[in-house]
Amino acid sequence: MTTRRQFLVGGGAALAALGSGKMSLAQQPKRRPLVISTWNHGLASNERAWEILSQKGKAIDAVEAGVQVAEGDPKVSSVGYGGWPDREGNVTLDSCIMDETGNAGSVAFLQNFKHPVAVARKVMDETPHVMLVGEGARRFALEKGFKEEDLLTADSRAEWKKWLKNAEYKPWTPTTNPTHDTISMLALDQAGDLSGSCTTSGLAFKMHGRVGDSPIIGAALFVDNEVGAACATGVGEEVMKTVGSFLIVELMRQGMSPTDACREGVNRIIRKNPKWREVQVGYLAMDRHGQVGAFAIHPDFQYAVHDGNENLLIDAEFYTG
């Protein structure tokens, strides 16, 4: 029988067991550097991050460079260039980044820049603020030398035209749009520092101006170097309402394993929202020792883990009632 796990690149049983949550905490190797990211486009993004981590680079540089691979790939229909547009045909981007000191930068509702995560990094490094949105974010990006470009591709325009025929809006569910996947990434570097990033074009065919969880520190991403880091993908409204990534890091602080903390993050959504069956959310977490975990509402969530020996795509555990 063909299982998703046969997509593993490399094939290490240890990493696979770790990802499945079937390995006890005591059994999990304490490793660094390490990088994890959401969905199968995480594999290529992890490779780029690894180039930096393996040369003793900083986690913050690795997570910024890593997700730019997905941002620049026109085949990834939910991030950056080639991302599916809003109802009016505009590709609008949300992104954030957070480092080991608790510094963070973020952009929301940004249009026409291929690498919003790089703009978010500049917000973090070169302004006294955390978040810039819309026109202000655009002006800032131009000042910093980023070039505007049309991010709609022939394929994403065709998808939008197809959608316009019925113009029926349903937030993404696993069965209606399995390809709609944000990239979120967490890394632990050789020095033992954690960082994370997240970047997306958001839910396809959303209302113009809609901002999801992806640029919201504490929702789609949170890093606390003393404890660990967490990140999210899926229907952002659910993640925002439960402040998912912050919750998961706080649960790890109280002693929960990364997998158990992610499971509780999902349980919060399920307990609060009677329509939880209609939405997908997936969480990833990593503690400061390099132990990782993941959990999703529905079964289709995969994540990529690179520890230098292997770069594996792993099926996350999911809610079974």
Residue 111 interacting with ligand SD4 (CB under 6 A): no
* Nearer residue to ligand SD4 within complex by CB, 18 or 262: 262
Determine phi and psi for 232, rounding to 5 degrees: -135, 160
Which one-letter amino acid corresponds to residue 50? W
Question: Closest approach of Cβ 237 to ligand SD4, in Å?
Answer: 7
Residue 236 interacting with ligand SD4 (CB under 6 A): yes
Q: Say which of 92, 182, 233, 259 is annotated catalytic.
A: 182
* Nearer residue to ligand SD4 within complex by CB, 201 or 257: 201
* Nearer residue to ligand SD4 within complex by CB, 212 or 290: 212
Residues making up the chain, counted from first to last: 321
Which one-letter amino acid corresponds to residue 171? P
Rounded Cα distance between 72 and 94, Å, is 15
DSSP assignment letter at 261: H
Question: Closest approach of Cβ 168 to ligand SD4, in Å?
Answer: 18
Which one-letter amino acid corresponds to residue 310? E
Residue 235 interacting with ligand SD4 (CB under 6 A): yes
DSSP per-residue string spanning 128-175? S-SEEEHHHHHHHHHHTTPPP-----HHHHHHHHHHHHH-------TT
Residue 302 interacting with ligand SD4 (CB under 6 A): no
* Nearer residue to ligand SD4 within complex by CB, 78 or 273: 78
Given 35, 141, 203, 243, the residue binding ligand SD4 (CB under 6 A): 203
**Using CB under 6 A as the criterion, what x/- string covers residues 205-224 for binding ligand SD4?**
-------xxx----------
CA atoms within 13 A on the CB side of 176: 16
Determine phi and psi for 149, rounding to 5 degrees: -150, 155
Given 95, 156, 197, 233, the residue binding ligand SD4 (CB under 6 A): 233
State yes or no: is 182 an active-site residue: yes
Rounded Cα distance between 303 and 42, Å, is 7
Binding interface with ligand SD4 (CB under 6 A)? 78, 180-182, 200, 202-203, 212-214, 233-236
